[in-house]
Amino acid sequence: MLRVTEIEVRYSGIPVVHNVSLHVGQGELVTVVGSNGAGKSTLLKTIAGALHPTKGSIQFDGKDIHKLSTPDIVKLGITYIPEARLIFGPLTVEENLELGAYILNNSEETKKNLDFIYSLFPRLKERRSQLSGTLSGGEQQMLAIGRGLMSNPKLLMLDEPSLGLMPKLVDEMFEAVAKLRTIGKTILLVEQNVFESLDICDRGYVLQTGRTIQEGTGKELLNAEDIKKAFLGL
């Protein structure tokens, strides 16, 4: 579904992602892990069209997208949930979710998707009429993911969904992501939370200073000695 081939991305002329390649098949959950500053978020922003690579290519469903704008990429079926969440605080939970379905223009499908989001995150259903700015950090993250799912994306990209959450909410977040995988959603997940993200993924990539240093199945990476030492403290 998604194929990134040897892309280079620069900030102010300085390369921050170096010849990175990855692929995501339909129905896969693929994780990109690495320490802060490794280039993980830059990679997602480039796929989403917020940045453009100076070298390499990005294909989605066989179509070159690395020169497209973000709105055009969204219309193709890619949804990016940024680390900052970017919910609309003065609007209610349900109003935020409905905004996520703006490209559907179909009230029946919007209602169906709302029901699905509320089944995935029951806490959002309890707070459907509450102003989003009054939600906890974990609830706001649930809302950001739910809003992203409202458009029925072919590919959902999640940028550090566990960042800043309490341990209990981190567990809930990964349970929700794992559930999405079991129902066939295609997900590209970027995380610093190495153990939990590799534990639920089909395949993973490890980035370090903008370069891919290792790839494999989640189990292979969890059992790799250098990954254990660098990220898991084992």
Indicate if 59 and 173 belong to the same structural domain. yes
In a shared domain, residues 145 and 187: no
Q: Name the pTM for this structure.
A: 0.91
20 and 46 co-located in one domain: yes
* Same-domain status, 132 and 23: no
Q: Tell me the β-bridge partners of 11.
A: 14
Tokens in use for 188?
Answer: 């590209």
Are 56 and 158 in the same domain? yes
Whether 118 shows a pLDDT value over 70: the answer reads yes
State whether 190 and 120 are in the same domain: no
Q: What is the mean pLDDT of residues 54-69?
A: 96
165 and 229 share a domain? yes
Show which of 110, 130, 153 is a domain's final residue.
Answer: 153
Task: Please report the sign of the dihedral spanned by the C-alpha atoms of residue 46, residue 47, residue 48, residue 53.
Answer: positive
Whether residues 3 and 20 fall in one domain: yes
Q: Give Cβ neighbours of residue 175 (< 8 Å, ≥ 6 apart).
A: none
Whether residue 143 is found in the same domain as residue 181: no
Beta carbons of 31 and 196 less than 8 angstroms apart: no
Q: With cut-offs at 50, 70 and 90, classify the pLDDT of residue 86.
A: confident
Are 227 and 214 in contact by the 8 Å Cβ rule? The answer is: yes
Task: Check which CATH number belongs to the domain holding 45 and give it.
Answer: 3.40.50.300
Question: Which residues span the domain enclosing 62?
Answer: 1-77+154-234
Same domain, 54 and 93: no
Average pLDDT of span 126-137: 94
pLDDT of residue 233: 60
Secondary structure (DSSP) of the chain:
-EEEEEEEEEETTEEEEEEEEEEE-TT-EEEEE--TTSSHHHHHHHHTTSS--SEEEEEETTEE-TTS-HHHHHHHTEEEE-TT----TTSBHHHHHHHTTTTT--HHHHHHHHHHHHHH-HHHHHTTTSBGGGS-HHHHHHHHHHHHHTT--SEEEEE-TTTT--HHHHHHHHHHHHHHHHTT-EEEEEES-HHHHHHH-SEEEEEETTEEEEEEEHHHHHH-HHHIIIII--
Q: 186-191 and 29-33 as β-strands: parallel, antiparallel, unpaired?
A: parallel
> Are 159 and 175 in a shared domain?
yes
Q: For the chain, give the percent of residues with pLDDT over 90.
A: 76
**Tens digits of residue pLDDT in 162-211:** 888 888 888 888 999 999 999 999 999 999 888 899 999 999 999 999 99
**Could you say which of 138, 153, 168 is where a domain stops?**
153
92 and 180 belong to one structural domain: no
- Name the β-bridge partners of 187: 29, 156
Average pLDDT, the chain: 92
- Count of domains in the chain? 2
Residue 106 has pLDDT above 90, yes or no: no
Q: What is the mean pLDDT of residues 146-152?
A: 93
Which residue, of 153, 172, 195, is where some domain finishes?
153
pLDDT of 56 strictly over 70: yes
